[in-house]
Structure 1
Amino acid sequence: MAKSLLIITRQAPWSGPAAREALDIALAGGAFDLPIGLLFLDDGVFQLAPGQKPTNLEQKDLQANLQALPLFGVEDLYVAARSLAERGLAADGLSLPAQVLDDTALRQLTQDYDQVITL
């Protein structure tokens, strides 16, 4: 059986290549039917904020990649409650549904996966 992989994405979509790389890894793993979870933590929660205009910053829009996650079998999406609160975002206003986890649940989540990658 394939080992499960949790990808923790901590970077805002406009702060460099890390956000895109995290999504690329998730999509590639999903294409090979790996059990993948994706956790949006710290500034990574901004990837789920609607209404972004990345072209103003001469960046590529990640929304198409995010919307493709379920098509590639990546359906286990998580977001840190503390990160949302610190950045003034609400779970019901995100561009994709994600399970909101408190700090205790986050610690348990990392234990539930065989491998963890942080970008």
Structure 2
Amino acid sequence: MAKSLLIISRQAPWSGPGAREALDIVLAGGAFDLPIGLLFLDDGVFQLAARQNAKALQQKDLSANLQALPMFGVDELFACGESLAQRGLDPHALALEEARVLASADITALIDHYDQVITL
């Protein structure tokens, strides 16, 4: 059986290549039926903000990649509730409705659930 993998995405979509790289890893893992999860933590929760204008920042829009996750069989999507609150994001108005909002105490258990963890 394949080992499970959790990707923790901690970068905002416009702060560098980390957000895109995290999504690329998750999409590739999903394409190969790898048991994979994605946790948005810290500034990574900004990827879930609705109505972003990437063109204004001369960046590539990641929303299409996010919307493709379920099509690639990636349905283990999580967001840190504390990170959302600290950044003023409404957990009920996320661009990726499939993301399950977790309390900080539950994140440790989530990480322990996976065989391997990559943080970007």
- TM-score normalised by the chain length of structure 1: 0.99
User: Aligned equivalents of 2:40 and 2:89: distance in 1?
Assistant: 12
Shift in Å, 1:103: 1.4
Please name the residue that 1:53 is paired with: 53
User: Aligned equivalents of 1:79 and 1:61: distance in 2?
Assistant: 19
Q: Which runs of 5+ in 2 are unaligned?
A: none
Please name the residue that 1:37 is paired with: 37
Identity among equivalent pairs (%): 69
Shift in Å, 1:118: 0.2
Please name the residue that 1:96 is paired with: 96
Please name the residue that 1:70 is paired with: 70
1:25 partner SS = helix
1:116 partner SS = strand
Instruction: Return structure 1 stretches of 4+ with deviation > 2 angstroms.
Output: none
RMSD, matched Cα: 0.5
Q: Which runs of 5+ in 1 are unaligned?
A: none
2:92 partner SS = helix
User: Aligned equivalents of 2:105 and 2:14: distance in 1?
Assistant: 29
Shift in Å, 1:14: 0.4
Give the aligned length.
119
